[in-house]
Structure 1
C-alpha cells in the first residue's frame, strides 16, 4: 500500500498523459476477438451499439489518445503537477458508445478524483475503458470511482436532456458545474459539393444511426438547390435499414408523413422533409432553404444555443465548424457545447 501511495503522488501531468497514451495504443491494436466480445456485451445492454458503432467510437478514442496531441492540448492549461483530492462527479449520457469518455479524460488528466455515474445504456464500454486503464497503469486505478450517487462531490459535470438538465440545475446548482442540455448539429450545402463530399456528409448523418449530438439532423440548402444528387450520394448508407430499431423508426415516421399528407422525399431508408424545426427524429432529415449568405447566417445564429457543430466546407462566421465527414471524429479541444471543460476543471 505504501508503494502504491508513493506511486500516486508521482503521477505528474506527463505520467497521466503517458497513461492515457498507453490506453490509446491498446485501443488501436485491440485484438479482433476482444473487440467482438466487448461489442457483443455492449450491444446486449443497448441494441443501438452495433459492432460497427463500437469500433468507430474506440478507433476515434484511440487516435485521439496519442502522446503528441495530449501534450499539446494539456500544455495550454495550468494543470497541477500534484494530484488533488477534489471530487468531480460526472453524470454520463448513453446515446452513443463511450460518449462520456472525454469528460473522464479531462477530470483525471486535471489531477482530480473522478466519480462516474454511468448511464445504463453505456455502462459496459465505459466500465471496460476504466478497467483497462487501471490494468495498463495500476497507479491510475485509485483516481476513478464508479458511483451510484454523487452526493459528496465538490464539482459536477452532467450531460442529459433538457428535462434532466433542469433537475441537475436544481440538485447541483450550488456546486461549480457544467450542465449540458439537448443539442444537435446542422450542415450547410452550397450546390458546389462533389459526390465524394456529399458521401462524407452522409457519415455525419448516419454514423451511430443519427443518435449523437454531433450528428447532422438538418441541412441548409440554397433556394434553387436540387436534392436529387444529394439523395443519390446517400445510397451508400442504405445498410442502416438493416438495423431493426432504425427500420422501425423509419416505418413509423414515413407512415406519419403519409397519413398527414405532408410533402416529403423518401429514399427507402431516410425521410427528407422541409421544416423550420431543428431536431429531426431518427430516420428523418430536415432541410431548410436560405436566400443568401446573410439569411443563412441569421438562421444559424438564431439556433446557436441548440447547435453542437456546423458541418460544412464553406467558410462562415461560426465557432464550431467541422468539415464534411469529420463530425464524429472530434479533436481533444472540441468541447461539447463550446464550454472548455479542461479550463473549468483547472479553475475549480
Structure 2
C-alpha cells in the first residue's frame, strides 16, 4: 500500500467515527460499509460500560469524537510531513496496551500501520473490544491490511520491536522481558496545572474538564495544582460545580468515599466540595476523586522545578504563564504530533 492509500484508509475510519456522538448519532449514507458496521458499533458503545465500569457511553463517545477530528487528511498530512516514509520491508511491531481510558493505544496502532509495518496487539483486559472492532472496519476498507494486523491473547512471539505501556511496576517487568528488542517502555506519568490566581470562571471550568474527563484515569488528566501562597480555592470550587454529576457514578463515588475516609483517618487537612477532595501534597499522583496542590513562591522557580521533573510529567496546563504549557480544557485533545512521554513514535519505528 502506498502512503496515500494508507492515509485514505484512516480518513475513511475518521468519517465512520464522526457519525457517533453522545447527543447526535446520525447515519451518513456516504460512509463506507455502514450497512455492516454502523449498528454493531453503536451497540458496542452502549455495551462498553458492561465490559469496563469506567467506560461510560459519555466517555466512549468523547474518545470516538476526538479520533474522528484527528483522522482528517489535513491532520495526517501535517503530521507525516516531518518524516521521509520510504518503502521498506515491514517489521513486526508488538504493542502491549493499557486500558485506563477508551482507545488509549490507538495512536501506537496508527503509527505502526501508517509506517508500513505489521502490528501485533496485546490488548488490556480492560479494553478488549473497541480497537479490534475498528481494526475490522479498516480491513473492510482495505482487505490487504488483514495480513498486517494481529491480536493475541497469550505470549507475544515473532516480533522485531515493542511498544509497551503500563505502570512503574509493570515497566520493570517490560524492561526485563523485552531487553533484547528495540522498545519504547512507557511508565506512569501525571499532568499538572499552574494557577496564578487571576483565572476567570471560564478558564477554571475548562480546568475541570482536564480533571474529570475519564474520571481522572488518564495520564493527561490534571492530578495536581500549583497555586500561589494564599490562594483562595472558592472560585475554583464554584467553577467546577457543573461536574458534580460525576459523584453519581458508583465506581467514582466508591473511590471518593474510600479515599476521603483514608485521608480523614490520617488527620490530613482537606478541602472538600462533595465530589472532589483537595489535599496539600508534594506528590503529583493523586488518587481518583482527589487532586493534590502545592504552593509556589515565584513562577521562575516553579518553571525550573517543572523542567527538572519533565520525565514525570505528561502535560502542564496554564493560562500561558509556563513555557510549553497547554491551555485549560485541552489536555484530552492531543494532536497526532503530540507524542506520549514526548517520545517520537514515528522516528522510533523508522530506525528499527
Q: Which of 136, 153, 177 pairs up with 1:131?
A: 136
Displacement after TM superposition at 1:34 (Å) = 5.0
2:115 matches 1:110: yes
Do 1:84 and 1:113's aligned partners in 2 also have CA atoms closer than 8 Å?
no
2:27 matches 1:22: no
Q: Distance in 2 between matches of 1:60 and 1:344?
A: 25
| Equivalent residue runs for 1:110-189 within 5 Å | 110-148=115-153, 149-189=155-195
Q: Which of 234, 237, 241 pairs up with 1:235?
A: 241
Displacement after TM superposition at 1:140 (Å) = 2.4
| Structure 1: unaligned runs, 5 residues or longer | 1-10
2:245 matches 1:245: no
Do 1:94 and 1:120's aligned partners in 2 also have CA atoms closer than 8 Å?
yes
Task: Encode CA deviations 1:255-280: one digit per residue, 9 max, x unaligned.
Answer: 12222221110110000111111100
Task: Encode CA deviations 1:46-101: one digit per residue, 9 max, x unaligned.
Answer: 10000001000000011000011101211211212x36331000100000000000
Q: Distance in 2 between matches of 1:315 and 1:111?
A: 41
Which deviates more, 282-291 or 35-44?
35-44
Q: Which of 336, 341, 344 pairs up with 1:340?
A: 344
Displacement over 4 Å in runs of 4+ = 31-36
CA shift in 2, pair 1:83/1:34, >3 Å: farther
| Equivalent residue runs for 1:192-271 within 5 Å | 192-271=198-277
Displacement after TM superposition at 1:35 (Å) = 5.1
- TM (norm. structure 1) is 0.93
Displacement after TM superposition at 1:118 (Å) = 0.6
Task: Encode CA deviations 1:278-335: one digit per residue, 9 max, x unaligned.
Answer: 10000000011110012211331332211101011224234xx211111001100010
Aligned to 2:3: 13
Do 1:204 and 1:216's aligned partners in 2 also have CA atoms closer than 8 Å?
yes
Q: Distance in 2 between matches of 1:256 and 1:316?
A: 33
Displacement after TM superposition at 1:241 (Å) = 0.4
Displacement after TM superposition at 1:117 (Å) = 0.6
Q: Distance in 2 between matches of 1:337 and 1:75?
A: 21
Displacement after TM superposition at 1:36 (Å) = 4.2
Aligned to 1:4: none
Displacement after TM superposition at 1:207 (Å) = 0.2
What RMSD in Å do the two structures reach over aligned CA positions?
1.4
Structure 2 counterpart SS, 1:122: coil
Q: Distance in 2 between matches of 1:23 and 1:245?
A: 32
Structure 2 counterpart SS, 1:322: coil
Do 1:36 and 1:51's aligned partners in 2 also have CA atoms closer than 8 Å?
no
Q: Distance in 1 between matches of 2:209 and 2:80?
A: 30
Q: Distance in 2 between matches of 1:286 and 1:311?
A: 15
Q: Which of 47, 66, 70 pairs up with 1:64?
A: 70
Task: Encode CA deviations 1:213-255: one digit per residue, 9 max, x unaligned.
Answer: 0000001011121111011111010111011000000001111
Aligned to 1:285: 291
| Structure 2: unaligned runs, 5 residues or longer | 27-38
Do 1:46 and 1:122's aligned partners in 2 also have CA atoms closer than 8 Å?
yes
